[in-house]
Structure 1
Amino acid sequence: MKRSFYVIAVVLVLVAGGGAWYVHSKQPVRDGEMKLAHLNAPVSVRYDERGVPHIKADNEDDLYRALGYVHAQDRLFQMEILRRLARGELAEILGPKLVNNDKLFRSLRIREHADEYVARQDKNTPAWKALQAYLDGVNQYQDTHSSPIEFDVLGIEKRPFTAQDTLSIGGYLAYSFAAAFRTEPLMTFVRDRLGPDYLKVFDQPWQPDGALTQAAVLSDRDWQGLGDLALLSYQTLEKAGLPEFEGSNAWAVSGSRTQSGKPLLAGDPHIRFSVPAVWYEAQLSAPGFELYGHFQALNPFALLGHNMDFGWSLTMFQNDDLDLIAEKTNPDNPGQVWYHGAWADMTSRQEQIKVKGQEPVTFMLRQSPHGPIVNDALGNAAPDTPVAMWWSFLESENPILQGFYEANRADTLEKMRTAAQKIQSPGLNVVYANARGDIGWWAAAQLPVRPAGVNPTFILDGSSDQADKNDFYPFTANPQEENPARGYIVSANFQPVSPTGIEIPGYYNLAERGRQLDKQLSDPEVKWTLEKSKALQLGTTTDYAAQILKPLIPVLRRVISAPEEHDLIERLAAWKGDYPVDSVGATLFNQFLFNLSDQAFHDELGDGLFTTLLSTRMIDMALPRLAADANSVWWNNRNSNEPESRDNTVKVAWHATVSHLKSLYGVNPDEWTWGKAHTLTHEHPLGRQPPLDMLFNVGPFAAPGTHEVPNNLSAGIGNAPWPVSYGPSTRRLIDFAEPAHALGINPVGQSGVLFDKHYADQATRYINGEYVPERSSEKDVEGNSEAVLKLVPGR
C-alpha cells in the first residue's frame, strides 16, 4: 500500500509538473532578448504595470514589425478566430453548428472583395509597407512559438496571416454596423403584411402599393425566408462571441469651456464584450512619430489614439449603407432577373465549406446585377424570390488603411479632415481635438445617391429603379463641424444633419443618450475637467423610461387591484429612471418593458420576427409611441377571441412581470435589485461550452447602467435575468493641457492568454467605474516599466 501511495504521488507530481510546463510554454515573454528577422536595428519594448507595450524603434519599419510580434503573443487566437469569422471558415474548427454562419459570410463576398482590394493596392506606399512589416512580425511570432491553448483545444493548424485577412476583418466590422439584414425584412413585413395602421408606431411612411410590383410580390415562403435571414444575421454575431459594434459616445470641448484652457477629448465606443477585449493598447515611438493607440486584431494602425499634440475618438455613424433588393425572376429561366427593362443573367459558382468532423458542405453562391444573393445562405430553405444586397463596402474605393495611417499622424484639422475622407465604409464619426485649441467632427462615409422618394428601410424592388445608385455625394455633404461657436461637439449615434440638407437614411440610436450628454455639456457654468468628464461617462440616467411610464402609470393604478402590487406601482412611479446596482425600480421597469413588448408585438410578428424586433433599434423607437397611443392596433391580441385594449394588455403584462420576478428573486421586492438581475460576464469564444466557461470566461459582475444611457452597459429586452452583451469597450479622457496624463480602462485585460496575469486584471476596476493612466511620457513609462523585452536583428 505504501508503495502504491508513492507511485500515485509521483504520478500526480509529474502530471502537475507537466501541466505547469504546458501552461508556462503558452505565456507571453515580456523580458529578456529575442531575435526577430528583418529588423534593421534593436527595438525596445517596455511593459508597464497593465502589460501595455511601449515600443521604441529607430525607424517605422522596425516599429510596425515589433508591434505585430508583441500583438500576436498577446492576441494570436483573437486574430485567428476573427479572420475565420470574416472569411466564413468557422465550421472548420467549431463544427456543423457554424455552417450557416459561414454561408452568410461567404454570401457577403468579403473574401473576394479582400482579394480584389489587395490586388489593386500600390505596394510602395508607407501605409502598405507598414502593414507588411506588421504582418511579418505576427507571422514570425506564430512560426517560432508554441500555439495558444485554444489552437490545441480546437485542432487549429497554423497558417500565415495575410493582408487579405486584415481586409476581411475590416469587412466583418463594416457588416457588424449594418442593421439592414434585421430591420428591412421586419419593416417590410409590417408594412406589406400587416398594413399602415401597424406601421405608425415605427414612424415609417406608407406606400399604398407596397414595396414590390405585383410580378415580384413576396410569397409566404419568401416571408418565412426573410424572417430566417434576419434571425440568422442576428445570431451569427451573437453566437460567435466576438466583438460587434453597437454605438458610442464621444465629445470634444474647446479650451474656452475647460478649466485648463485647453481642449478636452472623451470617447467610449460601445462594442460587444468578449475575452480578450476588442482593443489592444500600445505606445509607438520612432523618429518623427509618436502615438499611444488602441489597435484592432491584424491592423497596424490605431483606430483610437492620441499623443502630446492631438487625439481622436470614434462613434458609429449609423448611416444606412446596405440595401436588400427583391429580384423578379424570369418564369422561363430562374437564372435571370428583370434589370433595367430586360432579362439579365445571374452569375453563380459553388462554394465548399470545410466542417469539423463531417464531410464538406457545398452550396451555390449567386449574384445579380444588383449584388450578391444573400438568402442563398439559407441553403435548401432559401425562399422563392432571390434577395440581392447592395453594400457600399463592396462598391466604394474605400482606401481605409491609408485613411487610418494618415489619422495616426493628423496633427491639424486639415490633416484629419483629409484622412476622414478616405474612411468610406463603415460609416464612422471622427471626433478630434488638438493641443493648438482645435476641435472637429466629421461623419466619415461615402453616402450613396438613391432615387428620389426611395426609403431604404424597406426591401427594394429590383424590377424597378428603386435600387439604382446614381453616384456618391461629395464629402462636403457629410455632416461635420470644426470649432463650433458653442465650444463643444458631442456624438452619440443620433441622427446628424448634413450641411447641404440632404436626407441621410440610417439606423440611428435613440436621441435621449445624446440629449443627456448635450444638456450637461451645454451648461455655461461648468468648466470641464477630467473628473467631471468621468461623471458624464458613467451616467446612468436618461428620460426614456419616464416617456414610457408617464402614460402607463395611470393605467396601472386603474387596472391593478391588489394592495401589495399597488405598492410596487408607486415604487415604479417614484423611480427616477436611473440604473445603479441597488435599484429595484430599474428591475421592475425592464421586466415590465419586456412583458409589454411580448403582449403587444409577439402575436402579430411570430417568434422569429419578434426576436428580430427586440434586436433592432426599431423597438426603442416604437415603445414610447405605443405607450402613448391608447388606440394603437398593436394592443389587440390576435390569439384572443375578444377585442383587447391597452388597459387589458398592460394589466396582463404587469401580472406577468410580478410573477416572473417573484419566481426568480422571492416575494420580497427589496431583493429585486438591478445588480442581481443585470450582470456582465466577459465571454471567450470557447466559454460558450461548459465547463470551459469556468476556465475562459471572466465574471459575472453586478453591472450598473443599461441600454442607451451614457454608461451603456446594455442587455437585450427580455425576461430577467439580463446578461450584459455590449457597452463601453474603453473609456478614454484626455486633457490637452496635460496629454501625458490621459486616462483609460480596458474592460478585462490587455492579454488574451489564459493564466497570464494581465488576462483579467482590469475587470473589477472597469465595472466599478475606475480609470487607469495611459502612460506616454518618457519619465512615466520609465518609472512604471515592469519588464523590458529587447528585439534584436536575427534569423
Structure 2
Amino acid sequence: MRWLKPLAALGATLALFYLLHFKQGQIPPLGKFLNPFAGFWQNNTTSDEILSDLILPELQDTVHVLWDDRRVPHIFARNNHDLYFAQGYLTAADRLWQMEFQTHAAAGRLSEIVGARALEYDRFRRRIGMVYAAENAVKAMRGNPATLLAVEAYTNGVNAWIRGLEAKRLPFEYKILDYQPEPWTVLKSAILLKFMAWRLTSRNHEIIMSRTRATLGDSLTRVLHPDYPPFMEPIIPAGTRWDFSPHAVKKPQQDFKMMLRDSAHATKNFSAQGSNNWAMAGARTASGYPILCNDPHLTLNLPAIWYEIQLVSPEVNVYGVSLPGAPAVIIGFNQQVAWGVTNSESDVMDWYHLTFKDSTQQQYFYDGAWRATQRRVEEIKIRGGETVRDTIFYTHHGPVVYRNSEKPYDWDIPSGAALRWVAHDSSNELATFMYLNRASNYDDYLSALSFYASPAQNFVFADSSGDIALWHQGRFPLRWEKQGQYLSDGSDPAYDWQGWVPLAQNPHVKNPARGFVSSANQNPVDTNYPYYLGSNYAIFERGGRINAKLAEMKNIAPEDMIALHNDVMNLHARNVLSALLAQLALENFSPDEARAYEELMKWNYENHANAIAPSIFEYWWQDFMDLVWNDELASAYGAIKRPRRDVTVDLILRQPHARYFDMRDTARRETLRDMAELSLRSALRKLTEKWGPLGPAWEWGRTRGTDILHLANIPGMGRRNLLTSGNYTCVNATTKTTGPSWRMVVAFGPQVKAWGIYPGGQSGNPGSQFYDNFVEDWVAGKTYEILYLNSPNSTANRIAGQATLRSAL
C-alpha cells in the first residue's frame, strides 16, 4: 500500500494545479490572480505612477503632456493626428477596462466574458440594432475627413497602449473576470456613442399608453395625460412667435387602436433622468461677461462615465469631459465659447405593429401588398458554451425585436413589432463635438449642430463676445399630433415618418430679453409651436426653480451658479404639502403621528441630507399616489399608465372633490381627506418598520442615500449609502442611483475661468487613490477650479507631473 501516499500527493498536486490555473465558476484562476508580480497586488502598486517619457513610432511629432494635481492630463500636440492619438493612449491608460466592457455590453457581447447568463441581454442588444446603427455611423464618420482623422488616430492610440500593456498593469477587472483586452476599433467608438443614444432615448410608452387609451378612452386619456401639463414653463419662452411656414403633415383617416389584453408584459412608468443647463447674459453678471452652467444627470457608476481632459493643438485649445472610448471633448469650453447639454426627451423612437404572412416572418403586409423582410444573422459567442446564431428580421421601419412567440427582455416592448429609431440612420454626431471644440462664435456653434441627429439634446451656448443661445437639437420626424404616443400601424403608409423638421425650424432662442436661457428636460415649447415633438417631458419643478432663481438674481458671480447647482428646494413639496396638511384631522393623531406632523409643519421644503421631513413627505407622497390611482386605473388590458405627480397636484389644488379621491372597492365614498390621512398613516408605518421610531435614522440622507455602483457591480468597488442632499424634484437632482454626473460653471472675461466636478476620479483602477477621490467633495457640493493652460511650459504650482511623447529618439 506504499503507493497510496505518493498517489494522494499527486492527486493533491493536480487539484492544486487545476485550482491555480483554471477558472472555478465565478472565481478567476487563483494562480494568475494572486501572482505577486502580475496579479491583482500590482494594481495597487502601479496605479498612480505618472507615465515617463515615451517613444511611440505612430506619432508624427512631439507631444507634451502635463498632469495636474487631480490627475487631469493636459495634452499639447503640434498636429491633430498626434492630439487624438495621445488622447486615445492616455484615456486607455486610465480607463481601458471601462471602455471595453461598455462596448461589449452595448454590442451584445457580455456572454463572451460571463457566459450564458448574459445571453438574453446580448440577444436584446443585437435585436434593437445597436451594431447596425453603429455601422451606419462609421460610414458617416468616414465621409468627413476631420472625424475620420480623429477617430482613427484615437483608435491607434488605444491600441498602442494595449500592445505595450504589461501583465502587472492589466486592469483589475480583467484579472478577476479572467479575460484579456482585444484591439480597439473605430466601430467600438461608434457603438459607445450609439449606446449613449439608446440610454437617452429609449423611453418606451407605446404599449402602456395604448392600454391606457383602451381603458379610459380618448377624452379621459387626454385629461389625465396632457401633452402640455399644468404649471409648465417651456424651454423656449412662452409666447415665442415662429416666423416660418411649417410643413404639412397628413394624418390617417382613422386611428389605429390595437387591443392589448396581454398583461404578461413587464411595464415601466419611465421618468426622465434629468439634466440642467443655463447661460446668463453679461448684462446680468457682475463681470459683464456671460456665465454658462451644465450638470447632466445620469446613472452613476465607478469608473465614472466622464474623463476630464484638455486638448491643445494649433487648431484647438479645449477643456472639458470626454467619453472614454471616443475622441474630442463632449461638454466643455475654449477661450471663446462654452457649451453644455441636457436630454431633449422629444420622441425619436416608434413601434410598429406588423402582420406577417406566416410564422417564418419572411414577408409582412404593407400598403396593400406583401413585402419581403431582410435577414441579419448575429453570432453570439458564449464563454464555455456553443455559439448561438440569432436571426433578426428587418423591415423598412427597422428591426423586429421580438417575434410573437417570444417573451420580451425586461422592457415593455411589443412582440411582433418593428422599431423605428432615428439613431439607426447614418449620422455623424462626433463631427458636432469636433467642431464645437474649435468654435469661436455663434455661427460656428450653429454650423456644428447641423451634424447632430441623435440623441436629441438641448445645447446651451455662450461666447466671450456676449451671445447666449439654446437649441433643441436633433433630427425630429414630421409627426401629426399624438403620432408615436400609441402603437403604430405598420401596414399603413400614413403612419410612416413623413420627413424631418428642418434644422432652422427646430426650437431655439438667442439672446432673449429676460437675459438668460435654460433647460431642465421640460417641454421645449408652448402650444404656439407648429410641430408635434412628443409628450413625455420632465415635470416642471427643476425648470421652474432654475428660472425663478435666475430671474431674481443680479450681479451674478460664479459662486452664485455653483450654489444653484446645489439648490435642494423641493418645488413639488412647496406646491402641494400645505394643501395635504390642511386635510388632516389633528384630533385623531397619535403622539407619533403628531410628531411627524410637526416635522412637516416646520420644514422649509429643502431636501437636506440631515432633514427628517423630506423622508416623511416622500414616503407619504408615494403612498398617496398608490392609494389614489392603483384601484382607479385597474384594467382588463393589463397595467396602464397613471397620471404624473403634476397632474395629481393640479387635481388636489383645483379639484379637491374629484371622483378620483374615492376608493372603488369600498362601500362609502372617500374624500381627499381620507386619502391624505390613510396614506400618511401607511407611510409612517413603513418608515417605522424599516428605520425604527422617528429620529436620526429617518434623516433623508439615510432613508434615501445614493449608491455609485461599480460598472460590473463587483462588490466592494462602488460607494454605497452616500449621505446626499437633493431629489429628483430639485435642481440638485440626486436620487438613489442617478445624479449630476458632471457639474460645470464657465465664466467668460479677459481670461476664461471654469469650475467642475464629477462623482468619481480620473483613474479606472480601484486600487488607485484617484479612483473615487472626487466623491466626498461631490457629495458636499464642492466644485474644483479648473486649471486651463495655454502652454506646455506652464509652471503652475498645481502641475504634478509631465512627460514627452516622441516618435523616435
1:123–1:129 Cα contact (<8 Å) kept = no
The C-alpha deviation readout for 1:740-784, integer Å capped at 9, x for no partner, is: 431111211111112112111111111101111210134866321
In structure 2, C-alpha distance between the alignment counterparts of 1:202 and 1:559, rounded to whole Å? 37
* 1:707-752 Cα distance to aligned partner (Å, 9 max, x none): 03111112xxxxxxxxx21111111111111654311112111111
Residue 281 of structure 2 contacts residue 515 of structure 2 at CA under 8 Å; is this kept in 1? Answer: yes
- For 1:545-584, list aligned pairs within 5 A: 545-557=573-585, 560-584=588-612
Does the 8 Å contact 1:431/1:441 carry over to 2? yes
Q: Is residue 2:613 matched to residue 1:585?
A: yes
Q: Say if 2:753 is the partner of 1:741.
A: yes
Distance 1:124 1:193, change over 3 A: closer
In the aligned structure 1, how far is the partner of 2:408 from the partner of 2:661?
Answer: 33
Q: Which residue of 2 aligns with 1:719?
A: none
Aligned pair partner of 2:564 in 513, 532, 536: 536
Distance in 1 of aligned mates of 2:335 and 2:414? 59
Q: Retained in 2: the 8 A contact 1:410–1:416?
A: yes
Q: Which moved more, 1:159-168 or 1:636-645?
A: 636-645
CA offsets, 1:88-113, max 9 Å, x none? 11232234443232222212212122
1:320 aligns with 2:366: no
Which of residues 99, 114, 122 is equivalent to 1:79? 99
Aligned pair 1:368/2:395, yes or no? yes
Partner secondary structure for residue 115 of structure 1: helix
Distance in 2 of aligned mates of 1:586 and 1:76: 40
Give 1:585 deviation, angstroms: 1.1
- Are 2:187 and 1:170 equivalent residues in the alignment? no
Task: Report the equivalent of 1:6.
Answer: none
Displacement of 1:454: 3.8
Equivalent AA in structure 2 for residue 679 of structure 1: G
Identity score, percent = 25
- Secondary structure class of the residue paired with 2:342: strand
CA displacement 1:395-420 (0-9 Å, x = unmatched): 3x422122211111111100001111
Match of 1:70 among 90, 93, 109: 90
Quick check: 1:705 aligned with 2:726?
yes
- Aligned residue for 1:448, secondary structure, equals coil
Residue 73 of structure 1 aligns to which amino acid in structure 2?
A: A
Alignment of 1:201-350 (within 5 A): 201-203=224-226, 212-213=256-257, 217-221=258-262, 223-224=263-264, 227-228=265-266, 230=267, 246-330=273-357, 335-350=362-377
1:378 positional shift: 8.4
Structure 1 contact 368–388 (Cα < 8 Å) conserved = yes
Specify the SS of the correspondent of 1:493: coil
Q: Does 1:51 align with 2:71?
A: yes
Change in Cα spacing, 1:604 to 1:128, as seen in structure 2 (3 Å) is farther
Cα 1:608/1:357, change in 2 over 3 Å: farther
Given that 2:99 and 2:325 are in contact with CA atoms closer than 8 Å, whether structure 1 keeps it comes out as yes
> In proportion to residue count, which structure has more helix?
1
More displaced stretch, 409-418 vs 591-600: 591-600
Determine which of 454, 464, 474 is the counterpart of 1:445: 474
Aligned residues of 2:84 and 2:328 also touching (Cα < 8 A): no
In the other structure, the counterpart of 2:422 is: 392
* Structure 1 residue 673: Cα displacement: 1.0
- 2:457 partner amino acid: L
In 2: Cα distance, 1:764 partner to 1:697 partner: 13
Contact kept, 8 Å, 2:260 with 2:637, in 1: the verdict is: no
| 1:276 partner amino acid | P
Q: Distance in 2 between matches of 1:609 and 1:562?
A: 41
1:566 Cα deviation after fit: 3.2
2:209 to 180, 187, 198: 187
Give the Cα separation in 2 of the matches to 1:512 and 1:711. 11
Displacement, 1:530? 0.7
User: Alpha carbons of 1:388 and 1:24: their partners in 2 closer, same or farther (altered >3 Å)?
Assistant: same
1:624 is matched with which residue?
649
C-alpha deviation, 1:646, in angstroms: 4.3
Number of residue pairs the alignment of both structures matches: 744
In the alignment, which residue of structure 2 is the partner of 1:664? Answer: 690
Whether the 8 Å CA contact 2:316–2:437 is kept in 1: the answer is: no
What TM-score, normalized by structure 1, do the two folds share? Answer: 0.86
Shift of 1:511: 1.6
Q: SS where residue 449 of structure 1 aligns?
A: coil
Q: Cα deviations across residues 108-148 of structure 1 (Å, max 9, x unaligned)? A: 21212222332454467122111111110011111211321
**Residues 4-15 of structure 1: matches in 2 within 5 Å?**
none
Q: Tell me, yes or no, if structure 1 residue 502 matches structure 2 residue 524.
A: no
* Aligned-residue offset at 1:541: 0.7
Q: What does residue 94 of structure 1 align with? A: 114
Q: Distance in 2 between matches of 1:377 and 1:27?
A: 50
RMSD: 3.3
Amino acid at match of 2:256: L
Counterparts in 2 of 1:24-39, with a 5 A limit?
Answer: 24=44, 27=47, 29-39=49-59
1:161, distance to aligned residue in structure 2 (A): 1.3
Segment drifting more, 620-629 vs 743-752: 620-629
**Counterpart check, 1:118 vs 2:126:** no
Cα contact 2:284–2:554 (8 A) shared by 1: yes
Per mean C-alpha deviation after superposition, the further-off stretch among 27-36 and 466-475 is 27-36
Give the deviation of 1:532 after TM superposition. Answer: 1.0
Supply the AA of the counterpart residue of 1:212: F
**Conserved? CA contact 1:353–1:361, under 8 Å:** yes
Query: Using the alignment, how far apart are the partners of 1:163 and 1:286 within structure 2?
Result: 22
Unaligned runs of 5+ in 1: 1-10, 235-243, 715-723
Give the structure 2 partner of residue 23 of structure 1.
43
Instruction: Flag structure 2 segments of 5+ consecutive residues without an equivalent.
Output: 1-30, 229-250
The Cα of 1:369 is off from its aligned counterpart by 2.8
Q: Distance in 1 between matches of 2:573 and 2:637?
A: 24
Give the distance between the partners of 1:86 and 1:346, measured in 2 at CA: 25
TM-score by length of 2: 0.85
Letter in 1 for 2:214: D
Q: In structure 2, what is the equivalent of residue 761 of structure 1?
A: 773
Asked if the contact 1:591–1:657 (Cα under 8 Å) also holds between the matched residues in 2, the reply is: yes
Taking a change above 3 Å as real, the CA distance of residues 62 and 25 of structure 1, as seen in their structure-2 partners, is farther
Q: CA deviation at 1:366?
A: 1.9
